[in-house]
Structure 1
Amino acid sequence: MTTQPLLSMLDLVAVREGGTVAQALEIAVRTARHAESLGFTRYWLAEHHNMPGIASSATAVLVGHVAGATRSIRVGSGGIMLPNHAPLVVAEAFGTLAELYPGRIDLGLGRAPGTDGATMRALRRDRVETEADFPRDVAELQQLLAPAQPGQRIVAVPGAGTQVPIWLLGSSLFSAQLAAHMGLPYAFASHFAPRLLQAAIDLYRQLFRPSAVLLQPYVMIGVPVIAAPTDEEAEYLASSTYQRVLGIITGQRGLLRPPVENYLPGLPPAERAAIADFLAVGVVGGPQTVRAGLRALAQATRADEFMLVSDVFDPELRLRSLEIAAQANNA
């Protein structure tokens, strides 16, 4: 019998229509505390830039804020977009976090810019960095977080010796192969790019090489979840997610919008199909539907951990969604 995966949460810190960034940050803290009370393993925040509906651009700052407002849950990045940053800067930031919150900080790394081309250039200025440099940067970061060696010229202070756990994130086969080669845990971004999910995790497991930090493959997958007391209410609440996804697909990103009755049936078939493809591993429904959906996903992927994404407009109903999902997963 398949063991149900651990549960964690990814938060993009959505700015809601009619709300403010300050309110979004406060909601993130409340949500993290609730996830901790439900026994979630970790709470991650994602780096995105120049997006009006996402307030998690200063990811390391938010990781510290959330870690300081919680007691035991692991807090980390899902992820830091490494091409935007020099490894030394990342090592110092997360090394500082590790010293402040020992044993509670994760460092998830991605190789995409997390934004558009113009913003990417504004972030990097004269620094020439491409996705092809990602493996070298990951190795450098590992070295900077390891204990300093005699004669080492560049030492991350803080950072050296903290050995913050590094995760590789991806939505293609590239990071799956790199994570396997380096013996690192792997998180697949199936919450927005599910097409290569099975191929990537199969390849990761097939090529995995044990390392000093990980003896066996460890797979986390992103799962959009909207849970409510009934299937009908969950579908209604999920219309906020559907609107957000359609905005991503059409290049019209904005604030998180309130739910709309019968939203999907009113869309053209092509748009409904695009949303369905985007959310192919999503689980939307009442307790029984969510339980069945999570169990089916666990059996299909043998994932060790589900990283839930839950874009519910009403913050209180979002907390309820997480609670229903946790109960369904543990049933």
Structure 2
Amino acid sequence: MSDHNNGKQLNEIKYSVLDLSPIVLGGSAAESFRNTLDLAQHAEKWNYNRYWLAEHHNMPFIASSATSVVIAHVANGTSKIRVGSGGIMLPNHSSLVIAEQFGTLESLFPGRIDLGLGRAPGSDQRTARALRRDTGRNGDDFPEQLDELRAYFDPSLAEGKAQVRAIPGEGLNVPIWLLGSSGFSAQLAGQLGLPFAFASHFSPNNTLPAMDLYRRSFQPSKVLDKPYAMVGVNIIAADTDEEATRLATTLQQQFLNLIRGNEVQLQPPVDDIKELASAYELAALQQQLGSSIIGSKETVKDKLQKFVNDTGADEIMAIAQVFDHKARVQSFEILAEITGQKDRSEQK
């Protein structure tokens, strides 16, 4: 696979942030949003390319359910970093409403808004019913919904059908990304010539097949003349390997609690995850979090270079579900040092 990026060095690709606006044990959504803006301002200062927020519902540890509103909050508190969704779960919404929301965001913050789209519900069936009212939708009609959405921005795609107009939205250039954790969106993004973002942070085993499928099915479009793939990966960096491993137990507990159906806020780190999990659960964690890059500056640098070589990623989107906000900010600072972004921002 490594021939895709012709051995790109870490300072030759772009880096971005995916923030789930975590609500920590004893914390509140209000605090999460303050932390999100603080991290976004640091990310901008350290030359990160984009800052994405994700739509999840009915999850006590994620505050970004009203994703468009949080994007506006972050874009308003920053000045040049791109801000967007990673992603909006399109089956939960009418395409018209999303076109209007992102048309509004692009009108307020021109040239800075991304619209990343997923086809999963981002929630359980009960929540999906509460969101949608139309229980027949299960994501199978995602390609049709996507066509409808794209035609609101560019009416020439509507193939002569008279349609409702998205005001604001129509005529605006809001880059649309497809997000995926399997092959479906990889193939669709390729066929439509759209950029693709893969969720390696919770679907590591599908990463290389999906990237390969995207590149093989890619057709040039007026959006892209060649494939552009971003890969989301958990990166937790600290001063030492031991400290990073300890910080990462918060992420491991988050997944353990999901496996167990135990809906709680983000938990503080523990000294040894093995004391909390059975052998079966530890294997399940490895299955879901296997591509995570955790360690000191040197360790993260080596693992990240291997990951970039293996995936041929054009851009890396880092996720750090870390309990302590200062430690989370520091993790992104260390990453910015490893990749040379921080040096570039200091030279300006």
Shorter-chain TM-score above 0.5: yes
- Tell me the residue number matched to 1:285: 295
- Tell me the residue number matched to 1:257: 267
* TM-superposed deviation, 1:250: 1.9
Secondary structure of the residue aligned to 2:317 is strand
The yes-or-no answer on 1:215 pairing with 2:221 is: no
- Tell me the residue number matched to 1:49: 57
- Tell me the residue number matched to 1:204: 214
- Tell me the residue number matched to 2:250: 240
In the alignment, the residues of structure 2 paired with residue 265 and residue 63 of structure 1 have an alpha-carbon distance, to the nearest angstrom, of: 38
| Alpha-carbon contact 1:239-1:264 (below 8 Å) kept | no
Post-superposition Cα deviations, 1:306-329, rounded to whole Å, max 9, x if no partner, equal 111101111011110001112123
* TM-superposed deviation, 1:153: 3.5
The yes-or-no answer on 1:132 pairing with 2:114 is: no
Post-superposition Cα deviations, 1:103-131, rounded to whole Å, max 9, x if no partner, equal 00000000011111111011111364231
In the alignment, the residues of structure 1 paired with residue 65 and residue 162 of structure 2 have an alpha-carbon distance, to the nearest angstrom, of: 32
Q: Percent identity?
A: 50
Ranked by relative contact order (alpha carbons within 8 Å, sequence separation 6 or more), the top structure is 2
In the alignment, the residues of structure 1 paired with residue 28 and residue 276 of structure 2 have an alpha-carbon distance, to the nearest angstrom, of: 29
Change beyond 3 A, Cα 1:203–1:153: closer
Secondary structure of the residue aligned to 1:210 is coil
* TM-superposed deviation, 1:262: 1.9
- Tell me the residue number matched to 2:8: 2
Post-superposition Cα deviations, 1:79-109, rounded to whole Å, max 9, x if no partner, equal 0000011110000000000000000000000
The yes-or-no answer on 1:101 pairing with 2:113 is: no
In the alignment, the residues of structure 2 paired with residue 208 and residue 45 of structure 1 have an alpha-carbon distance, to the nearest angstrom, of: 26
The yes-or-no answer on 1:154 pairing with 2:164 is: yes
Secondary structure of the residue aligned to 2:87 is strand
- Tell me the residue number matched to 2:235: 225
- Tell me the residue number matched to 2:3: none
- Tell me the residue number matched to 2:306: 296
The yes-or-no answer on 1:22 pairing with 2:22 is: no
- Tell me the residue number matched to 1:328: 338
- What are structure 1's unaligned runs of at least 5 residues? none
Which residue identity does 1:29 align to in structure 2? L
In the alignment, the residues of structure 2 paired with residue 253 and residue 281 of structure 1 have an alpha-carbon distance, to the nearest angstrom, of: 24
Post-superposition Cα deviations, 1:62-85, rounded to whole Å, max 9, x if no partner, equal 111110011100000000000011
In the alignment, the residues of structure 2 paired with residue 129 and residue 39 of structure 1 have an alpha-carbon distance, to the nearest angstrom, of: 40
TM-score of the superposed pair, with normalisation by structure 2 = 0.92
* TM-superposed deviation, 1:276: 1.5
In the alignment, the residues of structure 2 paired with residue 147 and residue 72 of structure 1 have an alpha-carbon distance, to the nearest angstrom, of: 29
In the alignment, the residues of structure 1 paired with residue 155 and residue 115 of structure 2 have an alpha-carbon distance, to the nearest angstrom, of: 17
Q: Which moved more, 1:226-235 or 1:120-129?
A: 120-129
Change beyond 3 A, Cα 1:80–1:202: same
- Tell me the residue number matched to 1:142: 150
Which residue identity does 1:198 align to in structure 2? L
In the alignment, the residues of structure 2 paired with residue 129 and residue 271 of structure 1 have an alpha-carbon distance, to the nearest angstrom, of: 32
Question: Alignment partner for residue 118 of structure 1, among 126, 135, 142?
Answer: 126
Which residue identity does 2:311 align to in structure 1? T
- Tell me the residue number matched to 2:324: 314
| Alpha-carbon contact 1:295-1:329 (below 8 Å) kept | no
| Alpha-carbon contact 1:240-1:258 (below 8 Å) kept | yes
Which residue identity does 1:244 align to in structure 2? Q
- Tell me the residue number matched to 1:80: 88
- What are structure 2's unaligned runs of at least 5 residues? 1-6, 342-348
| Alpha-carbon contact 1:187-1:221 (below 8 Å) kept | yes
The yes-or-no answer on 1:272 pairing with 2:272 is: no
